[in-house]
């Protein structure tokens, strides 16, 4: 049993480290992920790393092609639009349940998660056009906390998977005026206010607007890249 727990711990650590680096834009979409190189980088066995990659493939951040290996997921605008619509519907249902079932302790924890998000720098100091790991974690924690009282584990897991897929797109979009002028902090405050007011319709609408703006920014960036011949 102890050996099994140790294996699970190593696999989870490798998965989380690799996941954060993929979301941080360490590899371009479609890049091959070499098991041997990754094992050396993360100081773990090839068996553990293969398990981590397999789990990330299940979360759609990695693609496995038989006889070729593992690759960072590719980008597709059509897929992004579908992911966004699915995410809006899934989380719309989830936030309705959360508002119905959440208690005062949850409200307090949600306020704390939002405070952490607001106080965490969004941009990396070494590359201001990229989102920082710390902000990504705080952002994920805030949105996860919103859904927590719904108590539907499958919904929460799916929402997290869809959120990661969106981050992967966002990290590989060039800066645009739409992105630079967007007041994402105000969007988060609006979502928080609607949830705390127990206004289900407003919370669902603000979540939809929030996710739709992200998709619009990505589409705008990828459109500019296509016009200039960039990838």
For residues 135 and 221, give the distance between their C-alpha atoms in angstroms, rounded to a whole number: 21
Please tell me the total number of residues recorded for the chain in this structure. 231
Give, in degrees to the nearest 5, the angle at Cα 195 between 191 and 196: 115
pTM, two decimal places: 0.77
Segment 36-79, tens digit of pLDDT: 999 999 999 999 999 999 999 988 889 999 999 999 988 788 88
Residue pLDDT, tens place only, 177-195: 656 678 999 999 999 999 9
Using one digit for the tens of pLDDT, what is the confidence trace for 123-165?
878 876 777 889 989 999 999 999 999 999 999 999 998 998 8
DSSP 172: T
The answer to whether 102 and 192 are in contact (CB under 8 A) is: no
Phi, psi for residue 65 in degrees, rounded to 5: -115, 115
Phi, psi angles (nearest 5°) of residue 197:
-80, -5
| DSSP H or E run through 216 | helix 200-228
Nearest to 77 by CA among 216, 183, 228: 216
């Amino acid at each position: 049993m102890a050996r099994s727990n140790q294996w699970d711990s190593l696999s989870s650590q490798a998965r989380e480290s690799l996941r954060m680096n993929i979301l941080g834009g360490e590899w371009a979409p479609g890049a091959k992920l070499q098991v041997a190189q990754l094992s050396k980088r993360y100081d773990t066995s090839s068996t553990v790393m293969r398990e981590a990659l397999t789990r990330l493939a299940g979360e759609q951040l990695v693609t496995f092609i038989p006889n070729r290996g593992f690759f960072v997921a590719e980008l597709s605008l059509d897929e992004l639009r579908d992911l966004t619509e699915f995410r809006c519907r899934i989380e719309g249902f989830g936030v309705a349940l959360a508002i119905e079932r959440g208690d005062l302790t949850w409200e307090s924890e949600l306020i704390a998660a939002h405070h952490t998000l607001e106080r965490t720098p969004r941009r990396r100091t070494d590359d201001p056009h990229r989102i920082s790991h710390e902000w990504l974690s705080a952002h994920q924690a805030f949105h996860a906390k919103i859904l927590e009282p719904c108590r539907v584990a499958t919904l929460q897991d799916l929402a997290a998977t869809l959120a990661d897929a969106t981050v992967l797109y966002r990290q590989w979009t060039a800066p645009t005026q739409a992105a630079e002028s967007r007041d994402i902090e105000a969007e988060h405050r609006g979502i928080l206010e609607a949830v705390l007011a127990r206004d289900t319709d407003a919370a669902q609408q603000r979540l939809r607007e929030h996710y739709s703006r992200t998709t619009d920014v990505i589409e705008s960036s990828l459109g500019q890249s296509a016009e200039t011949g960039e990838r």
